[in-house]
Structures are given as C-alpha cells and as structure tokens.
C-alpha cells in the first residue's frame, strides 16, 4: 500500500547556513508579495473598467492564478524585481508562488461553493517580521547521508541533523520510500527539516482484528474508552501556565519594536521572545507526543475504532472552555485516527452527532420520544443507554452508530 508520509527532524545550522536559509525564505516572501500585488492590480483594473461599461473582451487581460501562470509572469519580471535572483535557488521563488496559487484557488472555491467549511479569505501580503521562515525544495539533490546524521539540500549543502534519520534511511536503502520534497522551517526557535515521502507500507492487521472500541473525547479525561479505561488529560498548557505568565510579564518590561516610530527591538526583548517561544513549543511537543501515543495504541490493538463527529469549531466558541478544548486536541485525535486505522488495517467509524443514542433501544432499535430513565453510567461520568456496551462486544457495527 502506497501512502504519503512525513519525516521531521531537527537540524543544527551554522551561522552561515542560517543566513542562507533566511535568504531563501525571504526570496519566497518577495515572490509571493510581488505576484499577489500583480493579481490585485489586475483585478482592480478590470473592476474599474467594468464600471465604464467596457465589454469583457476589451478588459485588461487577466493574470493566470495557476502555479505555471504565476511562475511564467515571475520569470519575465524577476530581473527587475529581484536583481539578486541568481543567488538563491529557484525553489525559493517557487515556494512563495505555490503558496499564493493555493490560497487563490481556495478563496475562489470557497466563494463559488466548491470548498466546504468555513469561508476562506483573500490571500494577504506576508510580513518580514510575522511570517514563519520556510522554504520547500522539490527538485535537485535531496538525500540523506550514509552516516544518517546529515542531509543534503539544493544550494544549502550539507546540514547536520540533531537526531538520527535512521528510520527514513532504512526505507530509502530498502527501496520502499521515495523523497518527494523537503521543507526547512523554523518552529519554536528551532530549525526543522520535513521530508514528504511516498512510502510503500506492508499490509498490517491489528492485534485484535474483531475488537471494537468506542472513544469518547473529553476534557476531564482525554479519552473514555468503551472498555472502561480512562485516559487522563495531562493538560500541558495549564501545567505550563505559571511559567508562560512569568515569561510574558518579563517580555512586557523589555523595549520592543514600534512600527510607528521606527524603534527597533532591544537584544533583551529578542531573547525574551525566544524564551517564550521555546516554552510554547515545548507545550505543543508534549501534546503532540501524547496524542500520537494514544492514537497509535488504539489503532494497533483494535480492528474498529468508533468516534463521535464533534463540532470542534462550535465548541471553541465557548470562551470558558476554548482553551481546554484546544489544549486537548480534539480535532487532531480524530485526524490521526483516520489515517492510522488505514495504515494498520483497521477502520474508523464516525457516529453522527445528531443520532438519538439516548433514545434508541439497544435491543429492538426503537426510538423513544423521551429519554429513558434507565441509563448506565460509565467510569468518568459518561452516560450511555443500557445495552450499548453489549452491542460493542457483539461487534454489531451496522446498528452501533451511537455516541460512546
């Protein structure tokens, strides 16, 4: 089974290498902003011409929003816009143009109704200060060195990894993986390189193929399983809140940048920002690690995993619980369960959020007009209808579409 998988490693860049990466990220930002300015100028010009009553065939020719069209326009103007264009890889400009092409397509699809979900806004110009430095390479020399502690990227050369890339190197040596792209990005004060890899995965089966487990995600307990197991919610953000407050107060006492007066930030302000960013990155890493361990264990042990279709976006509108819901990672748990069940030979069932589970009889399937008084209480305070856990044991998946 072929699938797309990402391998992410921390890298230790030298001062010169970091300057080169920042130059490539800046080139991507320049190309993005230039192309976005051209697109907006053409759109505004055509809108003004329509107000004059000009027919469509006489309007200013529109600029193609595809990556190929934006790249063609950039190649014509790059010698004037960026005389230094030869000092960086062409993949840097392609990174910015590709991001713009995706943004314009998502905006157009959202307006026309082709894209579901929340409305997508029109792309904005990227700021040098607020934009996360990132550059993506799709062509050229991209490989892992035999020592597995270095990678080679176009124009950047040989980069030292902070950790061994043995898992990716083994697949590359066995011929079961092919690197499609590599992205260098600064996240939480550290540089990382992420490889998008096409992997040939062997067919696997869960340890208990006939086992069915229902997962109820919550705040008090991160997950309540139909087996009776309670998975505690570590609440990493709450645990780190004291330190984050102290770092935030320390940052407010430093001299920061002021765009109105042109004041530049002090060195102490920059170091305080770095400390605060590292603390937030640590919280995110701890949350990511816990969610991965939970979802991996569930998909490797059980053949069928049942979760509820939660309206996470609506739940985040609750200002009292939004922080705790975001800290638990409800949407991330379901996202990981979706692809990990397919990797391990299982399946994921999503229970409809509007299904009347409390009103449905577990024996005959009749739906009552009112909630029945006889209900079972699972550990952790989760209420389920009587006989629901027996349905899980019998693996009656066609009838089991209720909330656990």
Whole-prediction pTM value? Answer: 0.82
Residue among 287, 266, 289, 285 at smallest CA distance from 277: 285
* 39 confidence band (pLDDT: 50, 70, 90): very high
Question: What per-residue confidence (pLDDT) applies to 397?
Answer: 38
The per-residue pLDDT of the chain, averaged, comes to 88
Question: What per-residue confidence (pLDDT) applies to 391?
Answer: 38
CB of 32 within 8 A of CB of 97?
A: yes
pLDDT tens per residue across span 2-29: 999 999 999 999 999 999 999 999 999 9
pLDDT tens per residue across span 325-341: 999 999 999 999 999 99
Domain ranges of the chain: 2-15+132-200, 26-112, 208-393
The answer, yes or no, to whether residue 384 has pLDDT greater than 70, is no
* Cα–Cα distance measured from residue 252 to residue 255, given in angstroms and rounded to the nearest whole number: 8
The answer, yes or no, to whether residue 63 has pLDDT greater than 90, is no
CB of 378 within 8 A of CB of 228?
A: yes
* Cα–Cα distance measured from residue 338 to residue 215, given in angstroms and rounded to the nearest whole number: 13
* 129 confidence band (pLDDT: 50, 70, 90): confident
**Beta bridge pairs of residue 182:** 137, 195
Residue 5, H or E segment: strand 2-12
* Cα–Cα distance measured from residue 187 to residue 206, given in angstroms and rounded to the nearest whole number: 34
The single-letter DSSP state of residue 360 is B
* Cα–Cα distance measured from residue 248 to residue 273, given in angstroms and rounded to the nearest whole number: 9
**Percent of the chain scoring above 70 in pLDDT:** 92
- Identify the residue whose tokens are 């990981």: 336
* Cα–Cα distance measured from residue 123 to residue 101, given in angstroms and rounded to the nearest whole number: 10
CB of 375 within 8 A of CB of 385?
A: yes
* Cα–Cα distance measured from residue 251 to residue 268, given in angstroms and rounded to the nearest whole number: 9
* Cα–Cα distance measured from residue 346 to residue 211, given in angstroms and rounded to the nearest whole number: 10
The single-letter DSSP state of residue 190 is E
Averaged pLDDT, 286-292: 95
Tokens of 302: 């059980």
């Amino acid at each position: 089974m072929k699938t797309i998988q990402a391998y992410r490693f921390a890298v230790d860049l030298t001062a010169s290498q970091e300057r080169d990466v920042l130059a490539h990220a800046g080139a991507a930002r320049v190309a993005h902003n230039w192309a976005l300015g051209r697109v907006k100028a053409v759109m505004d010009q055509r809108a003004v011409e329509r107000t004059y009553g000009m027919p469509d065939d006489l309007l200013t020719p529109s600029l193609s929003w595809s990556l190929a069209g934006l790249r063609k326009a950039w190649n014509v103007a790059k010698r004037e816009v960026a005389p230094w264009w030869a000092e960086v890889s062409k993949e840097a400009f392609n990174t910015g143009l590709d991001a713009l092409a995706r943004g314009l397509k998502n905006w157009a699809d959202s307006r026309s109704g082709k894209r579901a979900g929340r409305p997508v806004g029109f792309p904005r110009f990227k700021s040098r200060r607020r934009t996360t430095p990132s550059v993506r390479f799709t062509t050229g020399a991209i490989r892992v060195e035999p020592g597995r502690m270095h990678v080679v990227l176009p124009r950047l050369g040989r980069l030292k990894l902070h950790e061994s890339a043995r898992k990716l190197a083994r697949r590359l040596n066995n011929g079961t993986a092919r690197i499609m792209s590599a992205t260098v990005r600064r996240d939480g004060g550290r540089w990382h390189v992420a490889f998008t890899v096409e992997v040939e995965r062997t067919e696997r089966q869960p340890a208990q193929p006939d086992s069915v487990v229902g997962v109820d995600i919550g705040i008090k307990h991160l997950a309540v399983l139909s087996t009776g197991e309670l998975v505690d919610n570590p609440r990493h953000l709450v645990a780190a809140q004291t330190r984050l407050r102290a770092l935030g107060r320390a940052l407010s006492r430093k001299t920061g940048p002021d765009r109105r007066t042109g004041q530049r930030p002090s060195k102490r302000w920059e170091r305080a920002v770095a400390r605060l960013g590292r603390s937030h990155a640590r919280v995110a890493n701890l949350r990511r690690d816990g969610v991965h361990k939970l979802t991996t264990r569930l998909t490797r042990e059980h053949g069928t995993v049942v979760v509820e279709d939660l309206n996470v976006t609506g739940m985040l509108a609750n200002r009292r619980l939004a922080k705790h819901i975001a800290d638990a990672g409800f949407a991330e748990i379901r996202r990981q369960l979706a692809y990990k069940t397919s990797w391990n030979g299982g399946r994921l069932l999503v229970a409809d959020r509007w299904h009347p589970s409390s009103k449905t009889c577990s024996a005959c399937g009749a739906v009552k007009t009112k909630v029945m008084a006889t209900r079972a209480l699972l550990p952790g305070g989760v209420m389920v209808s009587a006989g629901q856990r027996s349905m899980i044991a019998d693996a009656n998946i066609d009838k089991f579409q209720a909330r656990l």
